[in-house]
Structure 1
Amino acid sequence: MEFPIQKLGIIVLAVLVLIAVILLVTTGISGQSGALNETSQSVISNLTESVENVR
């Protein structure tokens, strides 16, 4: 059973977006939006870059 890489990339991207939203919401609620927000944003950008490299 072969799984198309493009579909996998879309699923991975969707999961990453979900994680990003959760991270941003939790950091916003906790009130420590400074460093955590920057960290999560850099992690998100790194992940999206790696996903783009896979495709």
Structure 2
Amino acid sequence: MDTAANSAPPWVSEGAQASGRFLAEVGLPMPILNPEHAIVIKATAGPVANAMGHH
């Protein structure tokens, strides 16, 4: 049983949406990888909402 693959955060298979503020303050949990493995993360910008929730 590969415990590293079984302990991957849900965003690895499901994807995630987060604000820049959230990522700066909280971050994104990384999956546990063996040294010979790698992961590529693609981040794209979405619509920007102000504090009132308007675009």
- The normalised TM-score by structure 2 is 0.28
Q: Which has the larger radius of gyration?
A: 2
Determine which structure has greater relative contact order: mean sequence separation of CA pairs < 8 Å that are 6+ residues apart, divided by chain length. 1
